[in-house]
Amino acid sequence: MVGKLAGKVALVTGSSRGIGLSIAKKFDDAGAKVILHSRNGIDQNIIQTFKQQPIILKFDINSSQSIEKAILTLYNDVEFPGIDILVNNAGITRDRLAINMSSDDFSTVIDTNLNGTFNVTQPIFKKMIKSRKGTIINMSSIVGLSGNIGQVNYAASKAGLIGMTKALAREGALRNICVNAIAPGMFDSDMTKDLSDKIKDAILSTIPLKRFGKVDEIADVALFLASSQYITGQTIVIDGGQSI
């Protein structure tokens, strides 16, 4: 059986672990040739779990020069067919109440999550425009829709990604390029594992499905969007009903 993404090339930023790795493996299972990305490289044990040998890219999403060099190196290979799917997953948090948040706390998160996403997207979007095809998926958050205490910087960056998604979708539609966002809620992760039972219970009380999500469920949504050619400019919320 041919996979949904057979013959496609997919770059997933921040794919050394967590959500990014789960999406990359889901795409690999669906037949895509995956490009893994990390600022510091990918563990060899992770690479060996893929069905197809992944391409490994190392660059800092805060450095346009670093990104351009990495992307141009790929496209200068005459056998490289081009990137069909881009998933912008890389990002950071620096949580603090607004009254305690330094300007560096704020600007660093904006620079990485919002500016960094644009830095990666622009050179690849240019290539997609020329080839008249492509799919871009931006990883936002329900925090970008509803806000959250202690995350003014993160909420601003993720809300910005939703605006960027809609604008890029309008530009990309002229060349058959679909651009969408995913807005996850609370998921099982290293962060949630460290929470006390009291805090977990408080959060779960706000989620109608009464559980945290699993990263593989985000990967399912990413695969759905990567397989679609008639959904664009949308933000898919996956939060167990928390934002109802």
Residues acting as catalytic residues? 154
- Calculate the CA dihedral of residues 194, 58, 25, 80 and round it to 10 degrees: 170
Nearest-angstrom CA–CA distance, 80 and 54 = 13
> In sequence order, which residues have a C-beta less than 8 Å from that of residue 191 and are 6 or more positions away?
none
Do the strands 85-88 and 55-58 form a parallel or antiparallel pair, or are they unpaired?
unpaired
Tokens of 43: 């563990």
Distances (CA, A) of 238 to 13, 33, 113, 228, 231: 20, 26, 19, 17, 16
